[in-house]
Amino acid sequence: MQNSPLLTTSPNESWRKRFRRLHSDLTAAEQRTGEYFETHADSAYLSITEVVANSGIGYGTIVRFCQKLGYKGFQEFKLLLAADDAINAARSSSDSGLSEIDEVKTRLRRELNETLRLLDDSHVQEAAQLLSSSHTVLIVGVASSAPLVLSLAWKLSRIGIDARASTEGYVMATQATLLDDSDTLFAVSASGATKDILHTADVAASRNARIIALTNFSSSPLSQMSDICLFTTSSRAPLKAEIPSIIAGEAVAEILLDRLLTLAPERREHLLKSSKAVSDRKI
């Protein structure tokens, strides 16, 4: 944890208690920031870009507020917000009589339905056309996005597209240097603000490769630098960042795969060939 001249108590102290204790040492803008978070615990599920847009508080003010409370930045502070929200949600669930399983079912249905409702058909068509005409498709994502990267690469490879998965920052940036204007970078990032992904996208753009983004946020840096954006509405809780739901992302991938096969029916032949290639590996 980052050392701070204001931090003099246990790191286990709740952020709310710490905020109240240090209130008089904060600037007026920082005080307003703490008060905003006290009434908007759902900010734990947003990017800092969205919090800035929703609150009207400056990016720098938010970061300074988090650091003055002794946290490295907004990402670390979000964990504390999420913990508060989880406690309140548990109380609310208990009061409503809903079981934890019912809560999960409701959330998954909501994520899937909202993603499908908002998915732009024209963007799916453009993405399918671009992928179908690409010489190579480099699919990148790190941490919790990695399973979706591997799944999408497998799906595209099965229908004859040279798709390569990369889930490590240095490796993907190096691989991006091999791209050119006949290739596509498919970047998967829920936040759209992951440094490794943004750097790789910069490298790919410098090589004149096209960029497709699969992300949650239209205002994210990744969305702004991409040629085509496909959006999900999956809410990845900070406390469960390494075990997120990827159902919404998988739904988009399935729709994209179906569109590719509709666009180029001859790719079904490669699907049969790839199936035969591994048929003797099954018992």
Contacts of 280 (CB under 8 A, 6+ apart): none
Specify the pLDDT at position 10.
53
- What integer pLDDT is reported at residue 84 of this predicted model? 65
State how far the Cα of 134 lies from the Cα of 46, in Å rounded to an integer: 33
As a whole number, mean pLDDT of residues 164-171 equals 97
Ordered domains of the chain (ranges, CATH)? 15-96 (1.10.10.10), 106-281 (3.40.50.10490)
- Cα separation, 216 vs 245, in Å, equals 13
Tens-place pLDDT, residues 225-243: 999 999 887 655 554 544 4
- At which residue do the structure tokens 């999900």 appear? 232
pLDDT score of 180 more than 90:
yes
The pLDDT of residue 193 is 85
pLDDT of residue 164: 97
Report pLDDT for 91.
45
Q: Which of 108-112, 179-183, 214-218, 242-246 has the highest mean pLDDT?
A: 179-183
Split at pLDDT 50, 70, 90, the class of 49 is confident
Task: Read off the pTM.
Answer: 0.69
